[in-house]
Structure 1
């Protein structure tokens, strides 16, 4: 089968001319070929040459007038960027592994040996770049059939493939999730058998694959596979612990693992924000340790939002997720995720709205998105009622914000004004006055206005025995 019509990019034509003139073998291989055949966009091109990838990269770059080529001699690879594409050249190689490392021992090899070392048959597809057979598909493992049937399968025995490089287990699930493919049973069983081998993989590598699963169209599919193969237990036991249903005296609680996945899928329909998706994953993470049973009320999870917020930095640190504003953002949404729902259940007071706006700040819209996604009842009437009530809360949020301007607000009276007015040095009374003014604004006792706040400051100062 020939696909030369699909190889129109200048890098392929330049490579063709050079290797044909020098009588070399070279192929475009891997993910770019897979995506080309699936009509998916791809900006990463891997070109393998039976010979020196470094030399070929330099020659192709020179023809394309690319000035900067990154060379990695120890890996036998070279890389450059041309227009909108990342292009990597590597010499064909064969690999062998030590059991305690995923880093292979590399030797020069043939194209077939290079294809054997690939993780999956759909990633072992190669297209020739030589003029004599330009665009011809080299497919020794029936990757094209797997591509058409939607199957993830390893070129060699999956036990060997996954044991050699356990990261491939996560990649199998990532590709199955992104492409909506099925992992063949033999491969799936091998992943279960080798799950504990994930211990030799760094947290950074694991979370990189996990984030790609989370950013897929239906991330729940990936998490179900991670859970079923015991991989999730290796790096995210807190999420595994959400699973299961307990029943006492006829009272059952929902399976919070599958509820979380439903919330994740719900929110993924509306946002590509990775950290908002992480907030969906983490929103009920503290339900297992806060679960209690009461004969009158049934199952409760009191305080799971506060404990969950405390768990966020610990989990982020262990999984090597960023410990910066992104973590704080997830932590905030976990802590506040019940607040809008509480407003839906009761009377929506301006005071409660002001407090929510002030605490959520610029993340209020994301918080409301999370809370909407959290409505997962099987009762359609209940869901409809909740969503209608949510619209009331959202309208009230807009009205109060336009009127009172309390999102991220600081009281109009600061410490310097208080000190200058009463002629005092820094002291606890300043904090007391500022806090009282802020509370008064949030309660609607005074407007978020300098003059009203100044008058209140004078009164509070007098009550505290301060003189102008």
Structure 2
């Protein structure tokens, strides 16, 4: 028995109470059922999670009857695709009738036809490493397409011709990149060739499905592998064209950093700093790293001395990022967070060697808002210079900025920069109702707070009354 098989056996023993009971129920009803796909692959890698996928000869209505009374909860949202879901203790279970699905040439949604054999079902799956099964009860291992060998060699291949597989479901091309990023696998040459020749077919897939694959890719352990494959095959031209656009043409007369390689390095350095954000993959931080320089192609200008400038690429990049994320149907909160970071990623470079006043530091914190920690990470990750002395100087300077932020926060006892009077106090003091005048007063007090730090309530009231009196005099004159 190989090490991979021994690992899988240990994992299967761990879930034996679930798969044995389920297998016995289906066998007694004269139906076949097998653990299939990702869970089998992950069992062999020693990383099986609580999501279990099964395939069965039973039709959905039969499956639903067989799990009722056994499962803690049952749902049928996937019935149209032959899937019944249920929960048993900590396990989330999906059971799908043997099937074959394919896209029409101009359809975004697959049509589903039920199959009649386990091998037929495995043959329609995306990659050989996902086309293995364990028939239950009895734990018989089924591997008709050599997935175990490919798993051991770390290779992604399709069970049949990749052109047929990608024609059936073009999203599988994105999944190839995602699995390369998740598992660290290489992609077989014939699969890369098919992805390259069929890249445009990805456009029939819905934005939401593409977005979900992109999120999984970016939050994987090896996102550079997947992103590089998207660019290499031309898929990125259709799903994230801002990324290949970063590979700016260079010539012997003009000097600038390789923006594409710089971006991938910033992404990896962001990953190295994620423990500052609580650990684990942080999509917002990673995607901001990936998009932070997308404004450079549009803002590149050549100077006579051979240098290249990218003035305002932060602002332009934020607009480009917002447009792309909207097209991919990201949530408003995710769009706001990522674009905010892209727009602010250069702000630190105005700090010089620490010349900022305390009011400038307060404004930095105020402008960053709830993205301050991610901005710390992105700014540090954005330093990719090979000049060790320069890198150390930038790191020390940012250390100084963070220390000043902490000191000012501690001295002023604030978690966020707010005026010394709230809206209700402003209205009561000035005898106003809700309206734009209250907003103007609030903004004035906020500017005073940013410029001078906190004031006592008495001083804040005096400053507000003086401002209001001057404003009234100017309006009446």
TM beyond 0.5: yes
Does structure 1 conserve the Cα–Cα contact (< 8 Å) formed by 2:420 and 2:454? no
| Deviation per residue, 1:222-256 (Å, 9 max, x gap) | 1111100100100221222111242363x311121
- The secondary structure found in structure 2 opposite 1:237 is coil
- TM-score, with length taken from structure 2: 0.89
* 1:295 and 2:300 aligned: no
- The secondary structure found in structure 2 opposite 1:313 is helix
| Counterpart pick for 2:117 among 89, 93, 110 | 110
CA change 1:413–1:59 in 2 (3 A) is closer
Rounded to whole Å, the distance in 1 between the matches of 2:82 and 2:143 is 24
* 1:156 and 2:164 aligned: no
- The secondary structure found in structure 2 opposite 1:398 is helix
Deviation (angstroms), 1:49: 2.1
Rounded to whole Å, the distance in 2 between the matches of 1:434 and 1:15 is 64
What is the aligned partner in structure 2 of residue 358 from structure 1? 366
What is the aligned partner in structure 1 of residue 47 from structure 2? 40
CA change 1:433–1:52 in 2 (3 A) is closer
Rounded to whole Å, the distance in 1 between the matches of 2:397 and 2:416 is 25
| Counterpart pick for 2:86 among 80, 90, 95 | 80
What is the aligned partner in structure 2 of residue 412 from structure 1? 420
Deviation (angstroms), 1:287: 1.1
What is the aligned partner in structure 2 of residue 316 from structure 1? 325
| Counterpart pick for 1:246 among 238, 243, 250 | 250
- The secondary structure found in structure 1 opposite 2:242 is helix
| Counterpart pick for 1:50 among 57, 60, 67 | 57
Does structure 1 conserve the Cα–Cα contact (< 8 Å) formed by 2:362 and 2:417? no
* 1:278 and 2:287 aligned: yes
Deviation (angstroms), 1:356: 0.6
Rounded to whole Å, the distance in 2 between the matches of 1:423 and 1:117 is 73
Rounded to whole Å, the distance in 1 between the matches of 2:460 and 2:156 is 66
| Deviation per residue, 1:278-333 (Å, 9 max, x gap) | 221221121111111222472111111122223332222111111x2222122221
Deviation (angstroms), 1:4: 5.7
**287-296 vs 118-127, which moves further:** 287-296
State the superposition RMSD in angstroms.
2.6
Rounded to whole Å, the distance in 1 between the matches of 2:287 and 2:33 is 42
Alignment of 1:83-102 (within 5 A): 83-95=89-101, 97-101=103-107
Deviation (angstroms), 1:98: 2.7
Does structure 1 conserve the Cα–Cα contact (< 8 Å) formed by 2:132 and 2:141? yes
Alignment of 1:160-171 (within 5 A): 160-171=164-175
Alignment of 1:363-402 (within 5 A): 363-402=371-410
**1-10 vs 309-318, which moves further:** 1-10
Rounded to whole Å, the distance in 1 between the matches of 2:33 and 2:327 is 42
- The secondary structure found in structure 1 opposite 2:87 is strand
| Deviation per residue, 1:65-119 (Å, 9 max, x gap) | 5353437544332110112222122222344553223513413321111111011
Rounded to whole Å, the distance in 2 between the matches of 1:7 and 1:166 is 32
Unmatched segments (≥5 aa) in structure 1: none
Count of matched residue pairs: 460
CA change 1:291–1:14 in 2 (3 A) is same
Alignment of 1:119-198 (within 5 A): 119-130=126-137, 134-198=138-202
Does structure 2 conserve the Cα–Cα contact (< 8 Å) formed by 1:54 and 1:90? no
Does structure 1 conserve the Cα–Cα contact (< 8 Å) formed by 2:71 and 2:86? no
Rounded to whole Å, the distance in 2 between the matches of 1:18 and 1:447 is 70
Rounded to whole Å, the distance in 1 between the matches of 2:252 and 2:399 is 36
Deviation (angstroms), 1:421: 4.4
Rounded to whole Å, the distance in 1 between the matches of 2:250 and 2:459 is 55
- The secondary structure found in structure 1 opposite 2:243 is helix
| Deviation per residue, 1:191-236 (Å, 9 max, x gap) | 0011000011000000100000011122122111110010010022
Rounded to whole Å, the distance in 1 between the matches of 2:11 and 2:333 is 43
Rounded to whole Å, the distance in 2 between the matches of 1:309 and 1:161 is 37
Rounded to whole Å, the distance in 1 between the matches of 2:23 and 2:393 is 64
* 1:227 and 2:231 aligned: yes
Deviation (angstroms), 1:423: 5.3
What is the aligned partner in structure 1 of residue 12 from structure 2? 7
**419-428 vs 306-315, which moves further:** 419-428
What is the aligned partner in structure 1 of residue 74 from structure 2? 68
Rounded to whole Å, the distance in 2 between the matches of 1:71 and 1:436 is 53
